[in-house]
Chain A
Amino acid sequence: MKYVDTTQVQKKMSSRLLTNRIAKTLFLLATLFGLLVLVVLIYRVVAQSLGWIDFDFLNNRLSTNAERAGIKGAIMGTLWLMLVVAPVTLILGVGTAIYLEEYAKKGRLQAFIQMNISNLAGVPSIVFGILGLTIFVRGLNLGAVVLAGGFTMALLVLPVVVVASQEAIRAVPQFLREASYGMGATKWQTIKNVVLPAALPGILTGVILALSRAIGETAPLVVIGIPAFIIPLPEGLLDKFTVMPLQIYYWTIDSALVDEYANLAAATIVVLLLVLFIMNSIAVLIRNKFQRRF
């Protein structure tokens, strides 16, 4: 006796195929929904910014006069901010990752630190803003300057860098470490000459993604008190500054007063999106170029 009844199979075939098709359509719609929102968003922003992005817009300072206003200050502010965030996260993040992966004994303490880093990654950015306000702006009495903003942002994206670096370090095959130890290399020699070079692409990818998050973050900088309107360009770590997302925020609020501010906000959004797009592309390129070399 056969368990699979051919006539029964035939009878149910069309309904099975129909269910399959429905499932496919549902998942396609789910995918298209996200895509559609993105297209609408970009269309709205680009349409509003048309004619507003030109060299003057990129090169002019902030002004209450919408026709003359530019975002050079915000661009410079973003650059200065990254100048602080990049090295701080790189050193602290990669250092932490190396310690946890290579030096720390796998035990309770290590598990505890690991859990807290994961928790840290889930802390809302505004809370980091309050931390930055308390420690850097007021505690160290720096004021709302590049250095304070940079440290705050660095703390915010640190967990991302740590986790990405840890994964990159963990992905370095154990047999490479063994080869190095087997020749009498110390742990640090092994890390410096074998582990880090092999993990570097992964670490860089993580750092770039973290930086692109820092570039787009607004809330922590609002909390530490970046001014709404600032004309002078930042020229050092202890200068007051603003960044692109903040400029977008204030222009959007003030578009109730001056209609053209909405266009300026849209134009800034386009510039910011372009920067983020380029950074993420670089991250993807690095990842693809160095993928699977062992």
Chain B
Amino acid sequence: MVVSTYSENKTTEETSEKMGANKGSKKSLAYQTKDLNLWYGTDHALKNINLDINEREVTAIIGPSGCGKSTFIKTLNRMVELIPVVKISGDILYRERSILDKSYKVEDLRTNVGMVFQKPNPFPKSIYENIAYGPKIHGIRNKKVLDEIVEKSLRGAAIWDEVKDRLNENAYGLSGGQQQRLCIARCLAIEPDVILMDEPTSALDPISTLKVEQLVQELKKDYSIIIVTHNMQQAARISDKTAFFLNGEVVEYDDTNKIFSTPSDQRTEDYITGRFG
């Protein structure tokens, strides 16, 4: 299994290298965390996380349940602050600016950094209203502009053809897989720079999962994607870099190829070969 995904991944890696070469520029960093520590009350959930995350790549976060991977990704758009007892130390730089700085408005950050959640969470509104929600809260009122955004976003999330004739129907009438792609489209509608995905396929069937994975491959041309996944094969299939979390620490962070073929830490190898987790 590991071998086959490795070769698959190699091709994508080569293409992305070529693309990078065509642009003739080195990728800059989307995110940088520096000695990031996080506590839930007295529970030390993230320990000294130092990660540099490239733009326009897929960075996968893997690890067993409770290792802090969801906490980590929710820290990147400060969603973790919805939990009242959270304490953070260290620093997180988004595009070289500290997001923990008081002057950084969290609304501003989340406009640049969209999020797709574990469980599809469309609003109980029409498909159209779901997509138009983001642009509307950012002050876009022009119906024509909104129409364009809705179509572009739905096309971007590869769901336009399935829903174009039922834009005014309630989003809850869609299947789970469609709902999740709708949520991705909703996220694209605010034209983010980074997309955070917190186990986006864990509630989906294999076919829907495949569609979302293909979508991620497509999206990384324009967006930086950080994806938490419970599924190691998924990380191997779709990501460029992988970080392995264990008990709140980053055990290993490297190119996905390297992690899945010649991991340098015994614990990483144990985890990806299914010895635990």
Name the residue of chain A whose CB is nearest to the CB of B120: A175
A108 contacts B by Cβ under 8 Å: no
B79 contacts A178, C-beta separation under 8 Å: yes
**Cα A105 to Cα B85 with chains together (Å):** 11
Contact A182 B123 (CB under 8 A): no
Asked if B117 and A182 make an inter-chain contact with CB atoms under 8 angstroms apart, the answer reads: yes
**Is B82 an interface residue when CB atoms closer than 8 A count as contact?**
yes
Chain A window 94-136, contacts with chain B (Cβ cutoff 8 Å), 1 for yes, 0 for no: 0000000000011000000000000000000000000000000
Of the candidates A184, A189, A198, the one whose C-beta lies within 8 Å of that of B190 is: A184
Which residue on chain A has the smallest CB distance to residue B78?
A: A181
With the chains together, A105 CA to B82 CA distance in Å?
11
> CB within 8 A of A176: which of B79, B115, B121, B134?
B121
Q: Check: B177 CB closer than 8 A to any chain A CB.
A: no
The docked-state distance in angstroms from the alpha carbon of A106 to that of B124 is 28
Per-residue CB proximity of A198-225 to B under 8 Å, as 1/0?
Answer: 1000000000000000000000000000
CA distance in complex: A105, B114 (Å): 26
Expressed in whole angstroms, the Cα–Cα distance for A116 and B119 within the complex equals 37
Across the interface, A181 reaches (CB within 8 A) one of B110, B123, B172, B183, namely: B110
Tell me whether A175 and B107 are in contact in the complex, defined as CB-CB below 8 angstroms, given that A183-B114, A183-B187 are known contacts: no
Query: In this complex, which of A106, A182, A198 has the most chain B Cβ atoms within 10 angstroms of its Cβ?
Result: A182
Q: List the A side residues contacting B242 at CB < 8 Å.
A: none
Flag if B111 contacts A183 (CB, 8 Å): yes
A111 to B: closest C-beta gap in Å: 14
- Chain A contact surface mostly: helix
State which of B79, B108, B124, B172 has its C-beta within 8 Å of the C-beta of A182. B79
Q: Check if A141 is an interface residue, CB within 8 A of chain B.
A: no
A55 at the interface (CB under 8 A from B): no
- B119 proximity list for chain A (CB < 8 A): 175
Instruction: Tell me if B121 and A184 are in contact (CB < 8 A).
Output: no
Is B124 a contact partner of A294 (Cβ separation < 8 A)?
yes
- Asked, given contacts A105-B84, A293-B124, A293-B172, whether A182 binds B115 with beta carbons under 8 Å apart, the answer is yes
- B77 interface hit (Cβ, 8 Å): yes
Instruction: Assess the A183–B82 pair: CB atoms within 8 A.
Output: no
Residue from A173, A185, A293 whose CB has the most chain B CB atoms within 10 Å: A185
Q: Mark A144-186, 1 if CB is under 8 A from B, else 0.
A: 0000000000000000000000000000010111111111111
Contacting pair A179 B123 (CB below 8 A):
yes
* B79 contacts A193, C-beta separation under 8 Å: no
Beta-carbon contact of A183 and B190 below 8 Å: yes
A179 touching B107 in the complex, CB below 8 Å, given contacts A106-B84, A184-B134 = no
Decide if A180 touches B133 in the complex (CB within 8 Å). Answer: yes
Contact of B107 among A106, A185, A198 (CB under 8 A): A185
Q: Quote the shortest CB–CB distance from B119 to chain A (angstroms).
A: 6
Residue of A nearest to B172 (CB): A293
Residues of B within 8 A of A183 (CB): 110-111, 114, 133-134, 137, 186-187, 190
CB-defined contacts of A105 to chain B, threshold 8 Å: 84
Instruction: Give chain B interface residues in 174-200, CB to chain A under 8 Å.
Output: 183, 186-187, 190
Q: Tell me if A194 is interfacial: C-beta within 8 Å of chain B.
A: yes
> Is the pair A184, B138 in contact by a Cβ cutoff of 8 Å?
yes
Question: Which residues 42-72 of B sit at the A interface, judged by CB distance below 8 A?
Answer: none
User: Which residues of B120-138 are within 8 A (CB) of A?
Assistant: 121-124, 133-134, 137-138
Q: Is the CB of B183 within 8 A of A179?
A: yes
Considering residues A176, A177, A178, which has the most beta carbons from chain B within 10 angstroms of its beta carbon?
A178
| A293 to B171 CA separation, bound complex (whole angstroms) | 12
Q: Contacts A179-B183, A193-B133 given: A184-B107 contact, CB under 8 Å?
A: yes
For residue A40, give the distance in angstroms from its CB to the closest CB of chain B: 46
| A104 smallest CB distance to B (angstroms) | 11
Q: State A178–B114 Cα separation when bound (angstroms).
A: 11
Task: Give the docked Cα–Cα distance between A106 and B82 (Å).
Answer: 12
Residues of A contacting B115 with CB < 8 Å?
178, 182
- Max count, chain B CB within 10 A of own CB: residue among A181, A186, A294: A181
Chain B min CB distance to A205 (Å): 18
In the complex, A177→B172 CA distance in Å?
16
Q: Which residues in A have some Cβ–Cβ distance to B below 8 Å?
A: 105-106, 173, 175-186, 189, 193-194, 197-198, 293-294
17 contacts between A and B (CB under 8 A): A173-B121, A175-B121, A178-B115, A180-B137, A181-B82, A181-B110, A182-B77, A182-B114, A182-B117, A183-B134, A183-B137, A184-B107, A184-B110, A184-B137, A185-B107, A193-B133, A293-B124
**The 10 residue pairs across chains A and B that have the minimum distance between CB atoms:** A184-B111, A184-B110, A182-B115, A175-B121, A183-B134, A184-B107, A185-B137, A179-B121, A189-B137, A183-B190
Besides A182-B77, A185-B107, 14 more A-B contacts (Cβ < 8 Å) are A175-B119, A178-B79, A178-B115, A179-B117, A179-B186, A180-B137, A181-B110, A182-B79, A182-B110, A183-B133, A183-B190, A184-B137, A184-B138, A186-B107
